[in-house]
Structure 1
Amino acid sequence: MTATNVTVPFLEQDPELAHRWSAEKAEAWMKEAGWLVGCNYVPGNAINQLEMWQKSSFSPALIDRELGWAASLGFNTVRVFLHHLLWEENAHGFLQRIDEYLAIAHKHGIRTMFVLFDAVWNPFPKLGKQPQPKHNVHNSGWVQCPGYDVLNNPANYDSLHSYVHGIVSHFKADERVLIWDLYNEPDNMNLASYKDDDYIVHKAELSMALLRKAINWVRAINPSQPITMAPWQNDWSCDTKITALDNYMFSHSDIVSFHCYENKSGMEARIQDVKRYGRPMLCTEYMARPFGNTFQEILPLFKKYGIGAYNWGLVAGKTQTHCPWDSWQVKYESEPELWFHDIFRENGEPYILEEVEYLRTLLNVEKESLQEVA
């Protein structure tokens, strides 16, 4: 199978730039928001974004409990993934569950970044009962949005308008929604897991074509919240080295965001690369302990530069992101001694108590017992 070839216009022909927030407006938004620190969140009982939101498995009580743990650390924001299949199945019910979730998060002083599209992990999402986790395999059940069948056929892209328009227009003035992340790692080929190159050979070009549509759909709504997108790799140091897709995402975001799991020196180099875009910054994925990318090493750097921070993972649940990426190739009979991501066990016990205490001190949380929080 091969993907449909897509021709993408040059950046200077893009009309979306006319509706981008000014740098001054973006700076004012960031100043009002304060230092944003939180995590990427999926409940411990959900293997993916479908299981998080489907009526049969949506768990407000569990979300309430776990976001309470997040708030106990001083987290004031989380990043949460949505999916178009949920909208197509029952738009009204999906909106009701999102609203219920937002009420819970708001109760805990947490504002949410919603992610609309995601190019990572399984390219064949299906509604209904989701698979059980593969033993100690990192994100063994996460799904792409849209999947291969939609992304590989640009004629299908307009079918996604209802999803984007319906979600964003419904919450366009909702202060509980912090920002819209339009596309997570759109050129990720998942070469260490599902190997998208076996199915789709022009993924970056196809994703940019969908992203261009999504930006125009959202700009037409004119939400009160800014938009961002999530580049994750490659060389961002200058215009001659950066990819067309990454440059497009940085150049069209109101607030720029990026992912980085490198150590302190690598992270600082990434920050310097992204600073040239002259926008407030969010790092929407970081924290991989085996790489030296820890809270103690990285958060002071973000604080120094005023960068919002979203580590991957809160609870080591069905996603099993406490296991490393290489668990797709290396068999782990028991949990790794050094967790990759995540902060709490499913019962609320901190993986590393000193790490939790560090976060609470850095984020000025009032002292209280972890037993009371759990």
Structure 2
Amino acid sequence: MRFRFSLVLASTLVMAMGTSPTQAGERWSVEKANAWQRERGWLVGCNYSPQTAINQLEMWQADTFDLTTIDRELGWAQELGFNSVRVFLHDLLWEQDHEGLLKRMDQFLTIAEKHKIGVMFVPFDSVWDPFPRAGKQRAPRPHVHNSGWVQSPGVEVLQDPARVDQLEGYVKGVISHFKNDRRIHAWDLINEPDNMNKSSYGTKEPKDKPELGLNLTRKAFAWARAVDPSQPLTSGVWQGDWSEEKMSPIVRLQLEASDVISFHSYDPLPVLQKRVALLQRYGRPLLCTEYMARPNGSTFEGILPYLKEQKIAAYNWGFVAGKTQTQYPWDSWTREYTGEPPVWFHEILRGDGTPYIATEVDFLKNLNRTK
């Protein structure tokens, strides 16, 4: 009973503090965040990378930017009733050719708008290979989940305070260029900043990565706030305890700095519901920016109706099976697979656009198009 009283009191205080007018460079008020959600409606879609790209660099670099595939695949997404996609960028793209990056982002947004799809961009990512290199990317390792995905920034930058500070130009340059672009739904500034990648690159990760990730997250929010975009800022929590008493410093920063609250959950519905209950105390819109891992019990049929009922934006991981190979499970880094897994981990469609599970695609179409 005491916990419940504290939770209600905390929610009341947060809501009361958040209803004052928001000034430029400040976190959005609760009122402004909820107005954004009412205007946008229920957002549903996927984390998107074209099947021809092994990672963010191959997706966006001039030599491998594949608008034909992107147009075709976003057309398939539109057929499923998706209205939003979450898409990763990379700081090396800005360093390599910032004018070209902005041009290609605009082209991507134009194609997405053609298919009535908005975009959430992710400037930084702390998951998978900590040693990114611009230029031609390596071929996928057979049967291995995300064998070529790269972190942004890489560990060499993350450990150098001077080089971290140089990322300010990237964040401000990209966000300021698109700060009033209605085709963009939100900015998810950094993905899983404290992920140690234990099963894949864990021995190559610095032991103080959570502290380094905390530092970058704090700076990224400050840089983005200075631009004062018309779209909300967020960074999704994904591990640990999200209760007020036990949350880690990085979770606290993510939750208290975000305009809209985002999170990841690859868990069955009962676990997801408990996680959601801990986040509802903020009174802000919720976005589940990663979910759906079939063998874990996180399925479209089991999860998506609840997210829709609760008006929680939903972005499953994966769409079309391709170079990222995320139909294979996480344990493909430690267990050998010689062919397609018995149950796909992620992904919805095969490379030719046919469904992995026809009834699943029918379910998505029906749910996404029902008011």
Same fold, TM exceeding 0.5?
A: yes
Provide the rounded CA distance (Å) in 2 between the counterparts of 1:341 and 1:349. Answer: 15
Partner of residue 200, structure 1: 206
Provide the rounded CA distance (Å) in 1 between the counterparts of 2:222 and 2:161. Answer: 16
- Per-residue CA deviations over 1:24-67 (Å, capped at 9, x if unaligned) read 00001001110100000000000000000011100001000000
Partner of residue 43, structure 1: 50
Provide the rounded CA distance (Å) in 1 between the counterparts of 2:169 and 2:343. Answer: 43
Supply the RMSD in Å over aligned alpha carbons.
1.5
Runs of 4+ in structure 1 off by over 2 angstroms are none
Partner of residue 124, structure 1: 131
Give 1:189's aligned amino acid: M
Residue 86 (structure 2) pairs with residue 65 (structure 1): no
- Tell me the TM-score normalized by structure 2: 0.92
Out of 189, 209, 213, the position equivalent to 1:182 is 189
Matched position secondary structure for 2:123: strand
Change (3 A) 1:346 1:107: same
Partner of residue 297, structure 1: 302
Partner of residue 233, structure 2: 227
Give 1:215's aligned amino acid: F
Matched position secondary structure for 1:19: coil
Out of 148, 152, 165, the position equivalent to 1:158 is 165
Partner of residue 337, structure 2: 332
Deviation at 1:275, TM superposition (A): 1.1
Partner of residue 114, structure 1: 121
Change (3 A) 1:18 1:173: closer
Partner of residue 6, structure 2: none
Matched position secondary structure for 2:320: coil
- Per-residue CA deviations over 1:299-343 (Å, capped at 9, x if unaligned) read 111012110000000011000000000000111110112100000
Out of 253, 257, 261, the position equivalent to 1:256 is 261
- Per-residue CA deviations over 1:80-130 (Å, capped at 9, x if unaligned) read 000010111111111111110100000000000000110000000001111
Matched position secondary structure for 2:76: helix
After TM superposition, the structure 1 = structure 2 runs for residues 206-355 of structure 1, keeping only pairs within 5 Å, are: 206-236=212-242, 238-355=243-360
Give 1:254's aligned amino acid: D
Deviation at 1:18, TM superposition (A): 7.2
After TM superposition, the structure 1 = structure 2 runs for residues 162-173 of structure 1, keeping only pairs within 5 Å, are: 162-173=169-180
Partner of residue 19, structure 2: none
Deviation at 1:157, TM superposition (A): 1.4
Deviation at 1:230, TM superposition (A): 1.5
Provide the rounded CA distance (Å) in 2 between the counterparts of 1:342 and 1:226. Answer: 27
Partner of residue 12, structure 2: none
Give 1:351's aligned amino acid: Y
Percent of pairs with identical residues? 55
Residue 60 (structure 2) pairs with residue 56 (structure 1): no
Deviation at 1:211, TM superposition (A): 1.4
Give 1:206's aligned amino acid: L
Contact 1:17 1:252 in 2 (8 A): no
- Structure 2 gaps of 5+ residues are 1-22
Give 1:152's aligned amino acid: Q
Contact 2:33 2:285 in 1 (8 A): yes
Partner of residue 7, structure 2: none
Contact 2:25 2:225 in 1 (8 A): no
Matched position secondary structure for 1:230: coil
- Structure 1 gaps of 5+ residues are 1-15, 366-374
Deviation at 1:291, TM superposition (A): 1.0
